[in-house]
Structure 1
């Protein structure tokens, strides 16, 4: 039923559980898996030196790509075909957009990520993804 599964990761415990769940689904159903890491756009303070901004972007990208590499390693150990996506922007929008663009049939996402208190007031990424996505969304607790 779900031949293409997209899982969102951010380095949180819940995203690790989501990845493990997606890998299990993929292995049981001989599915392909996509892993997405969305880096939020930086909020740049006036007067911040360009070199500092570049260093922050480089550090963020390195951490995000390391997370994706870890997912590749786990998938390859299980013999699961995997593709990865590193994107920048608003996480819920980018996850739903990527799922739609690449015809994923299921999105797997943790119920809580690395967000802050602001997320409690505005609604979590997983809730927003479930509202925006055109495919089923499995929220892992």
Structure 2
């Protein structure tokens, strides 16, 4: 029986599909849903600019992170440059926004018992640790679509989760 679903999101389109699936399952089964966003330690500005593919987050994040900013940045890269080196704060605010937006979306689908978490760490290890801590019965993640060679060399987050999860895993393709 599934009582608690954990879904990981990074704000990408594939992650939104994972949230959709998890929210629909949570609604149908009447289960708890926890939405997790993992912030990678030591994230560089270039990597952070790819954190969320949805540029609409720029306006919402810049209002919180840079309240006295006179002109709203037009892209993630511009937003990170405007943060004047405080990438940690910017990534934290962005992570909160990604998780909150996903929770709002899950509730709009009909999932009633939705919580959010934003945690630092390695993606796969943190997702697995949170699943174990919560006693999750299912983890839902999106696939990243790594190339065949790159996937064999470094492995993907979803592959690591499948191999080590203490519960069922659904990978949305």
Q: What TM-score comes out, normalization by structure 2 length?
A: 0.70
Secondary structure of residue in 1 paired with 2:106? helix
Contact 1:10 1:38 in 2 (8 A): yes
Cα distance in 2 for residues equivalent to 1:43 and 1:31? 33
Cα deviation, 1:78-105, whole Å, max 9, x if unaligned, reads: 2521111100010100000000011000
Who is 1:6 aligned against?
A: 6
Cα distance in 2 for residues equivalent to 1:93 and 1:30? 27
Who is 1:65 aligned against?
A: 96
Which of 110, 120, 126 lines up with 2:142 in the alignment? 110
Please tell me the root mean square deviation across aligned C-alpha atoms, in Å: 2.2
Who is 2:69 aligned against?
A: none
Secondary structure of residue in 2 paired with 1:15? helix
Secondary structure of residue in 1 paired with 2:171? strand
**What is the CA-CA distance between 1:75 and the residue it aligns to?**
2.7
Q: Which is higher, the Rg of structure 1 or of structure 2?
A: 2
Give runs of aligned pairs for residues 11-22 of structure 1, distance below 5 A: 11-22=11-22
Give runs of aligned pairs for residues 49-64 of structure 1, distance below 5 A: 52=85, 55-64=86-95
Q: CA 1:58 to 1:23, structure 2 compared with 1: closer, same or farther past 3 Å?
A: same
**What is the CA-CA distance between 1:43 and the residue it aligns to?**
5.3
Secondary structure of residue in 2 paired with 1:74? helix
Contact 1:15 1:110 in 2 (8 A): yes
Cα distance in 2 for residues equivalent to 1:43 and 1:74? 27
Q: What TM-score comes out, normalization by structure 1 length?
A: 0.85
Contact 1:110 1:126 in 2 (8 A): yes
Cα deviation, 1:84-138, whole Å, max 9, x if unaligned, reads: 110001010000000001100000000117x89x963301100011112111110
Secondary structure of residue in 1 paired with 2:38? strand
1:91 aligns with 2:123: yes
Who is 1:25 aligned against?
A: 25
